[in-house]
Structure 1
Amino acid sequence: MSSARDRRVVCHRAGPLLRALPACLLVCLAIAGPWLAPHAVDAPVTAPFAEPGAGAPLGGDQLGRDVLSRLLAGGRELVLSALLIAAVVTATAALIGAVGALRPAVGRVVERAADVVILLPAVLGILLVGLSWPGGGRLAVVLAAIVLSLPYAVRLVSSAASLVAASGYVEAAAAGGERLRVLVVREVLPNLRATLLALFGLRFVEAVYVVSTAAFLQVGPQPPAADWALMIRENSPGILLNPWAVVAPSLVIGMLALSVNLASAALAPQSGRQAVTLR
């Protein structure tokens, strides 16, 4: 009976890790993809929109380039950009939200500023920044996505941090003369781990969609760069000739967003998930 109980405990603990495994594999594959591509991403190997064959398992794109090679090479920049956006937004929102919860005057100013920025649609804001930025590029998209995602994240963290700040041990520490930095780092943020983990997953998924949308509109990476969203845009005229040139990048974008969302939900405790749903 003891061994059966131990097995159940091990399975219970391993369950979240197993549900997070697909996301880890997809992220690692996207990052290592350019080294795994069987052909050069800019070299024609087939006829335009050729059907899948021996030399090109997913056929060719509009210029005869190997779809599989461009699929493997086209996810690294997207994944790294989404990870950067999610990490910066989560970390910044954690600090601002915790300070705002401990200092109500600061929190009111932050909320009013967030209300103003939230009025601007994210995609429209990214287009404005990307098109007006000298030279455009992915950096402009990343910076715009961080700025426009931050208000939502700050309001979420502020709501969760206000409950922690009102707890007895935080009030006791503040009454004991602890400095704001100590209260934020030692008292508030450690109790927001679940919320921040769930928030990171949501921000990553949103960043994937926002960066992909910008790339589809040719704000950021430009042809002939290998990029999943660009592949969809460039090959859509020949979808009836070789559907894989459009279907394959669409599938990996959806699978990446879905797997990361499931991973964050699996790793975050129930309390963190409930807090994020209040967004």
Structure 2
Amino acid sequence: MSAATALTQRPRPIPGRLGTLRRTAPGTLLVLLALCGPALAPHTIDTPVTAPYAPPGQGALLGGDQLGRDVLSRLLDGGTALIGSALLVATVVTLTATLTGCVAVLRPAIGRAVERTADVAILLPSVLGIMLIALAWPGGGRGAVVVAAMVLGTPYAVRIVAGAAAPLANSGYVEAAVTRGENLAYIALRELLPNLRATVLALFGLRFVEGIYVISMAGFLQIGPQPPAADWALMVRENAPGILLNPWAVLAPSLAIAVLAISVNLAAVSLAPHSVPKAVTTA
């Protein structure tokens, strides 16, 4: 065996608990801070405390927005709904895609129908889909955007899970379960799902980031939460004209969205197992 072959076959080192904690801590702390933010806000979110676009000072650490409201208070209050909505989107899409993808590879007829449906749904542009669902939804609002994110994100997720589960469906232990007469739910949950943990956790992180992106984009387009709500995307849109007067009114919510998405995605990847049992196929 050559040195190059030995290096390629060497198992990846499994990070210790300290390394995992280091990667998950930023996302966890940021989520907790955003969820507890309303209780930590020094001012009410709708009361002017400074002049419009006032620079940071004693009364407002991040200055004022276009109406003189405290940027820090609105920043601390604006992340709760966004995180809750993104978590809901990621959870529903991941669960739906995992179950559908496992069933699709175990039942070829269902798999073909799922594949055709996903191909058609993927062709719909995300912005157009959000606008159509939000306009058709009674009253619009954040609920419409959340439903749009679920509908638009599921086809991609199903294809990812089905692609990862397809080699496992022909493995020896799955065929042994079929021979024993196990039902579809048992095979999907006990044979396939344990070997898809890395894919599912990575998919959850990606769907969370996608949920933040879709909801923030909708808020920036004023599809969903409306003024005077303290929403990070709305803060960026509302304060963009005064970015030269008080840059923090735009930079603070923008950085909050970016750091939240990146840190949670890194946490999901670090929690995923670095190695999974290999599928053994039969001849």
> When the two structures are superposed, what TM-score results if normalisation uses the length of structure 2?
0.91
Question: Shift of residue 212 of structure 1?
Answer: 0.1
Which amino acid in 1 is paired with 2:133? V
Cα distance in 2 for residues equivalent to 1:234 and 1:222: 11
Question: Shift of residue 270 of structure 1?
Answer: 3.7
Partner of 1:120: 124
* Aligned mate of 1:208, from 201, 206, 212: 212
Question: Shift of residue 105 of structure 1?
Answer: 1.0
Following superposition of structure 1 onto structure 2, how do residues 35-184 of structure 1 map, counting pairs within 5 Å?
Answer: 35-184=39-188
CA contact (8 A) 1:85 1:145 kept: yes
Question: Shift of residue 23 of structure 1?
Answer: 0.5
Q: Comparing 245-254 with 255-264, which one deviates more in the overlay?
A: 255-264
Cα distance in 2 for residues equivalent to 1:69 and 1:234: 16
Question: Shift of residue 22 of structure 1?
Answer: 0.2
CA contact (8 A) 2:75 2:252 kept: yes
Question: Shift of residue 271 of structure 1?
Answer: 5.3
CA 1:172–1:21: 2 relative to 1, 3 Å = same
Partner of 1:242: 246
Cα distance in 2 for residues equivalent to 1:206 and 1:267: 19
Alignment gaps of 5+ in structure 2: 1-12, 277-283
Per-residue CA shift, 1:104-160, capped at 9, x if unaligned? 111110000000000001122012211222211111000111011000000000011
CA contact (8 A) 2:50 2:68 kept: yes
Per-residue CA shift, 1:241-277, capped at 9, x if unaligned? 11100000000101011111211222223458xxxxx
CA contact (8 A) 1:195 1:271 kept: no
What's the Cα RMSD here? 1.4
Which amino acid in 2 is paired with 1:143? V
CA contact (8 A) 1:41 1:70 kept: yes
- How many residue pairs get matched? 264
Spell out structure 1 runs of 4+ moving beyond 6 A.
none
Tell whether 2:228 aligns with 1:231. Answer: no
Cα distance in 1 for residues equivalent to 2:204 and 2:54: 40
Which amino acid in 1 is paired with 2:268? S
Cα distance in 2 for residues equivalent to 1:185 and 1:214: 35
Question: Shift of residue 17 of structure 1?
Answer: 2.1
Paired-residue identity, %: 68
Alignment gaps of 5+ in structure 1: 1-8, 273-279
Tell whether 2:196 aligns with 1:192. Answer: yes
Tell whether 2:34 aligns with 1:27. Answer: no
Question: Shift of residue 189 of structure 1?
Answer: 1.1
Question: Shift of residue 11 of structure 1?
Answer: 7.0
Cα distance in 2 for residues equivalent to 1:135 and 1:248: 30
> When the two structures are superposed, what TM-score results if normalisation uses the length of structure 1?
0.92
Secondary structure (helix, strand or coil) at the match of 1:63 reads: coil
Which amino acid in 1 is paired with 2:263? S
Secondary structure (helix, strand or coil) at the match of 2:16 reads: helix
Partner of 1:3: none
Cα distance in 2 for residues equivalent to 1:59 and 1:242: 7
Q: Comparing 256-265 with 44-53, which one deviates more in the overlay?
A: 256-265
Partner of 2:4: none
Cα distance in 2 for residues equivalent to 1:113 and 1:193: 25
Cα distance in 1 for residues equivalent to 2:51 and 2:116: 57
